[in-house]
């Protein structure tokens, strides 16, 4: 497997991603907190000229460290304040049954994440919905019809203690 490399400011030498310098890490930390910062503001905070800052950010994008820039919305304000974690056990563990489930799970209303896991469950899904009544409707109309499912266990969130999109750097 080939390590991702990033070019330095001169564009001549490359270094592995795990060797990001302090400025690269500072840029990534700032952008994780607020990606709407202007290039000028970002440059000032990391003590670079705006053109040098822009080149570094573009290099981080090209290296795949910055996948995309998004707006984080308020789920409660948009009628999706309830979070439900769903453990799923499939009736068999075959590539076809996993593929069919994954394709169908991607179409579930409000499904934010779906992970293959180890242990008692095959998958964990994170679903957002308005309230318990709307989740009950989702369960009856969509979740019960997921292909290859032997068991579904739902865990409704009572209180959000922590939620972040920021990776530790």
pLDDT band at residue 6, thresholds of 50, 70 and 90?
A: very low
**Taking a C-beta distance cutoff of 8 angstroms, is the pair 59, 7 a contact?**
yes
Residue 16's pLDDT band, with cuts at 50, 70 and 90, is: low
| Digit-coded pLDDT (tens) for 73-102 | 999 999 999 999 999 999 999 999 999 999
Who's near 151: CB < 8 A, 6+ residues apart? 87, 88, 89
Q: Which structure tokens are listed for 121?
A: 């469950």
| C-alpha span between 26 and 2 (Å, rounded) | 25
**Averaged pLDDT for residues 115-139:** 97
User: Taking the CB of residue 84, how many other CB atoms lie within 10 A of it?
Assistant: 20
pTM (predicted TM-score): 0.81
């Amino acid at each position: 497997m080939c390590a991702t490399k990033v070019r330095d400011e001169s564009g001549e030498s490359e270094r592995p991603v795990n060797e990001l310098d302090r400025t690269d890490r500072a840029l990534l930390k700032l952008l994780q907190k607020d990606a709407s910062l202007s290039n000028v503001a970002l440059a000032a905070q990391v003590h670079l000229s705006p053109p040098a800052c822009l080149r570094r950010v573009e290099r981080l994008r090209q290296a795949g460290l910055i996948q995309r820039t998004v707006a984080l919305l308020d789920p409660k304000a948009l009628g999706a304040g309830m979070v439900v974690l769903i453990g799923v056990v499939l009736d068999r563990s075959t590539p076809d049954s996993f593929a069919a489930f994954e394709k169908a799970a991607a179409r579930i209303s409000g499904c934010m994440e779906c992970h293959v896991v180890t242990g008692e469950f095959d998958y964990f899904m994170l679903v957002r919905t308005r309230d318990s009544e709307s989740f009950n409707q989702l369960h009856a109309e969509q979740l019960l019809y997921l292909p290859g499912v032997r068991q579904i266990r739902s865990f409704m969130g009572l209180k959000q203690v922590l939620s972040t999109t920021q990776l530790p750097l």
